[in-house]
A and B are shown apart, each in its own frame.
Chain A
Amino acid sequence: MHMADALLSPAVATTMYAASAIAAGTSIIKVNKEKDSIKIPTMAVTAALVFAGQMINYTIPGTGSSGHICGGMLLTSLLGPQAGFLSMIVILAIQCLFFADGGLLALGANVWNMAFYGCFVGYYLIWKPIMKSKMSSKLKLILAPILGCVLTLQLGAFSVVLETSLSGITDLPFGTFVAIMQPIHLAIGLVEGLVTSAILLFISEARPELIKDFKPQTAWNCADGAEKAKSEGKLSFKSTIAVLAVVAIVIGGGCSLLASGNPDGLEWSLFGNAESGYSQNMGLDEDDYGVQSDAADKAQGIQDKLAFLPDYAFKNSDSVAGTTTSGLVGIAIVAAIIVVVSFIPKLIKKKEVNEQGDQQGK
């Protein structure tokens, strides 16, 4: 889900940076307030662990393929939302800088799509309510990560589509793009959720205190009443409703888009008339990004009349699609300049070496 730089227009990239920066700012204030200096090394080690954990491939039973985790939900469940968010930012920054996984300019958007939803939405909407409910602790640790991962990945995937469409980069229609992204991430989210819950179940047996908001059932806890122990095994009515509601939102939100396959209603309501350039309706038409109607119209006209490069360039010198004669000649010249220029450093080095050699010779 890592977005590359070319997927975003500067306006969208900057907006996402600002949004992520605000979330990061509030998280930093919260983490600093706790004045818990052990937290920083723990966050660093956990982040490094999640990063290393992404290298592990898990066999998906019955499919013959394998998947890996992204780790947003795992970090949240171990560190809490704010510290988890900061750790996730660091992981994404390292991926971006050292592995070119996601662009530098797109980092803000990537942080939002993968860390914000995974940490904040996943925690406050899913993790905390489920941990507070009266389910059996095993059920909690199965349900929370799976629901959390599925929901947050759906939100993230939808954001990717929204950001790309607002940037006017791809000509893939909004509905088609959504229909491609959501089901893929439904599967990914499910696998990630299963792996995360397996890990948390393992941890809960060895060191349950490591898991945020998790109170395991022990003989100790249950001693204050046999009745309580009994009820903990069952789902209470309230929590059942809550869980069902969340499931409905996930399935409804994710699948209705898929099912209709032609989500014109949504597209219309969000963007107005797509043909007249939906970025204009979103107030993003200041520069020439977006599905700019002028360029698109001209290009369309050219396309109707003429074949690709050769004829067009000579008959019509309007430089809409960058294929004018002078443009082509210009490209050749720039290419030549680049080749020539790339020799300059070598020449300088040679000169230095020669001079050094001369000095040594003397």
Chain B
Amino acid sequence: MSKGTNKASNALNELRDMDELANGNSLVHELHPLVKLLVTIAYIYCVVSFSKYNLTGLFIMLIYPVLVFEFAGIKISTCFYKLRLVLPLVLMVGIFNPIFEGKAGLISMITLMMKGTFSLMASFIMVATTPIDGLCAALRKIHVPSILVTLLLLTYRYISVLVREVAIMTDAYKLRAPKQKGIAMKAWGSFLGQLLLRSMDKASELYNSMQLRAFKGEFYYASQRKLNARDLVFLVGCIACFVCARVFNITELLGGLFV
């Protein structure tokens, strides 16, 4: 399968890459998933709440993702390479601000782009250091309903199966219909429809096999390790730092020392 031509096989590669990253070994990987989830949410919340003209104050928030990336042993360029398709959309957010607001708009545009990029980096590093099982167990811990978590885990597992199938189907279609952009109209229904029919059979097989293994609508997670001191220090420390950075304009204060 040639890389770059088939959307489905690209998505498959992405998922596998993320899985490999998440199963790595580093200080960040060792942190409790729940702590990582909470810190990430706090970070994004903090970043987004900066005023749109507070460029200097926001800048200090870059330290967190940079440090975590380094501690996780993941290159920041990996994040930007993986998100290369999404990033332009994120950067487009404030693109009209300079037009409507002139030069102050330029600042708000840059601030918005920074907000978007920082939030992306933070959520990327969380997912890239936490396997999905850990994430789901963490979601259960904060009382996200079990049906949603079970659904998330099952869907995630099944996505790779069905995306692979779609990749094969589109490749086969492309070989039979060269130089054609996408699926022709007369095959619109039958293309996904065929897969849908097969998937429904698959779903009932899955259900049967789960029944045989005593599935009653909920997964039981192997006992997760408890929160330890390091987790708590990370959680409290990070949130305290975020709040400080949000309340005081540390960049400006630092600059003030020298000016």
Q: Which chain A residues have a beta carbon within 8 Å of chain B's beta carbons?
A: 4-10, 13, 24-25, 28, 31-32, 37-38, 40-49, 51-53, 55-59, 61, 64-66, 78, 86-87, 89-91, 93-94, 96-101, 103-105, 168-173, 194-195, 198-203, 206-207, 210, 287-289, 292, 295-296, 299-300, 302-303, 307-308, 319-335, 337-338, 341-346, 349
Contact = CB atoms under 8 A, between A and B. Distances in A.
A44 B49 contact: no
B150 A40 contact: yes
Given A55-B163, A105-B45, A322-B56, A99 B195 contact: no
Greatest chain A CB density within 10 A among B190, B194, B255 is at B255
A99 B86 CA distance: 8
21 contacts: A5-B119, A28-B147, A37-B211, A37-B217, A38-B204, A40-B147, A44-B151, A47-B155, A49-B162, A51-B162, A104-B40, A170-B96, A171-B97, A203-B196, A207-B197, A289-B49, A331-B56, A334-B254, A338-B66, A345-B67, A345-B71
Contacts of A299: 53, 101-104, 107
B52 interface: yes
B3 interface: no
Given A55-B8, A56-B166, 12 more contacts: A38-B203, A44-B154, A46-B200, A48-B159, A86-B151, A199-B192, A202-B190, A296-B101, A299-B104, A321-B55, A327-B55, A330-B253
Given A103-B44, A203-B193, A300-B104, A295 B53 contact: yes
B255 A327 contact: yes
Contacts of A307: 103
Interface residues of B, number: 118
Contact of A210 (B49, B54, B200, B217): B200
Contacts of A56: 7-8, 166, 170, 182-183, 191-192
B93 A98 contact: no
B78 interface: no
A341 B63 contact: yes
Given A61-B185, A342-B66, A45 B206 contact: yes
A250 B111 CA distance: 37
A308 B103 CA distance: 6
Contacts of B181: 57, 59, 64-66
B28 to A, nearest CB: 9
Contacts of A333: 251, 254-255, 258
Contacts, number: 360
B238 interface: no
Main secondary structure of the interface of B (DSSP, over half): helix
B41 interface: yes
Contacts of B229: none
Interface string B222-234: 0000000000000
A297 to B, nearest CB: 10
B251 A334 contact: yes
A300 B101 CA distance: 8
Contacts of A326: 252, 255-256, 258-259
B115 interface: yes
Interface of B: 7-8, 11, 14-15, 18, 27, 40-41, 44-45, 47-49, 51-57, 59-60, 62-63, 66-67, 69-71, 73, 82-83, 86, 89-90, 93-94, 96-97, 99-108, 111-113, 115-116, 119-120, 123-124, 127, 135, 145, 147-148, 150-152, 154-159, 161-163, 165-167, 170, 180-185, 188-197, 199-200, 202-204, 206-207, 210-211, 215-217, 249-256, 258-259
A337 B59 CA distance: 12
A53 B148 contact: no
A171 B148 contact: no
Contacts of A64: 181
Nearest to B152: A90
A4 B116 contact: yes
A87 B123 contact: no
A9 to B, nearest CB: 7
B71 A288 contact: no
Given A8-B48, A206-B197, A338-B63, A327 B56 contact: yes
B89 A28 contact: no
Nearest to A32: B147
